[in-house]
Every structure is written in structure tokens, then in C-alpha cells.
Amino acid sequence: QVQLVQSGAEVKKPGASVKVSCKVSGYTLTELSMHWVRQAPGKGLEWMGGFDPEDGETIYAQKFQGRVTMTEDTSTDTAYMELSSLRSEDTAVYYCATDKGGSYYRFGAFDIWGQGTMVTVSS
């Protein structure tokens, strides 16, 4: 059974960066396609980016291009999402989630989710 455990809440000042981790257990990270989704307080879900097994590349939403970096440490089965140049509008819960197709096929549906990490950006 795959489980995703995320790092704890963060408070950052505008202009700073934040790095959120997502530890995988039950599978190895190489067997999964990891995505990141965020949700501002009281708002809907927003896809930030993720690994496309069909291209073998990480795809970022244009909105976050240049500010977001998604990386993986396969030695510890931990995925990371780093967002830079933070502004107040980045205040949100950030989720990691895996595609149901694993690292082989893009189902385009996220079956396993982390518990979420609250990131607050405030001066």
C-alpha cells in the first residue's frame, strides 16, 4: 500500500523560497509518477506540475514556470517541490499525489495523496 507523508507547515516571508517534501513508503519512487497540486484557503484545486511517464519528463504548469522545481531523491524515495519568489497568493495547502498509472502509463488520475502541507506567505 503506497503512502505519501509530507513535511510540516511552513511560514515564509514574501520573496523567500519553500521546499516541501513527500516521502514515499510501500513502493519505490521510481515506480510512481509524482504530481503536485495546491489549494488556496477556501478555493479549488490547482495542478502545478508532475512527471509524465510517456515523455519521461517533468511538466510544469506555465503559471509556475521559472518559479517551481520538482525533484526526486530515489535513494530516500522522497519527492520535493520548491517554489521561489513567494507572494501572498502562494498561501495554500500543497499536496503531492501519484498518477494511477505509475511510472509506465499516464492515467491522468491521482489515486494516492499526501496529507498536505500548509504554506503561509506573510510579512
Partner 1 sequence: DIQLTQSPSFLSASVGDRVTITCRASQGISSYLAWYQQKPGKAPKLLIYAASTLQSGVPSRFSGSGSGTEFTLTISSLQPEDFATYYCQQLNSYPGTFGGGTKVEIK
Question: Interface with partner 1 includes 82 (CB under 8 A)?
Answer: no
H or E element that contains 19 = strand 18-25
Question: Interface with partner 1 includes 108 (CB under 8 A)?
Answer: yes
With respect to partner 1, which residue has the nearer C-beta, 16 or 111? 111
Q: Can you tell me which residue has the cell 519512487?
A: 29
Instruction: Determine contact, residues 38/92, Cβ cutoff 8 Å.
Output: yes
All cell numbers assigned to 57: 519528463
Query: Can you give the three-state secondary structure of 90-113, one letter per residue?
Result: HCEEEEEEEECCCCCCCCCCEEEE
Instruction: Compute the distance between CA of residue 94 and CA of residue 71 in angstroms, rounded to an integer.
Output: 15
How many residues contact partner 1, by CB under 8 A? 27
Of the residues 61, 73, 74, 105, which one makes contact with partner 1 according to CB under 8 A = 61
Closest contact distance (angstroms) between CB of 31 and partner 1 is 18
Question: Interface with partner 1 includes 95 (CB under 8 A)?
Answer: yes
Q: Hey, which residues between 19 and 58 contact partner 1 (CB under 8 A)?
A: 35, 37, 44-47, 49-50, 52
Candidates 114, 84, 95, 91; CA nearest to 38 is 95
With respect to partner 1, which residue has the nearer C-beta, 57 or 123? 57
Q: Applying CB under 8 A, which residues contact partner 1?
A: 35, 37, 44-47, 49-50, 52, 59, 61-63, 95, 97, 99-100, 106-111, 113-116
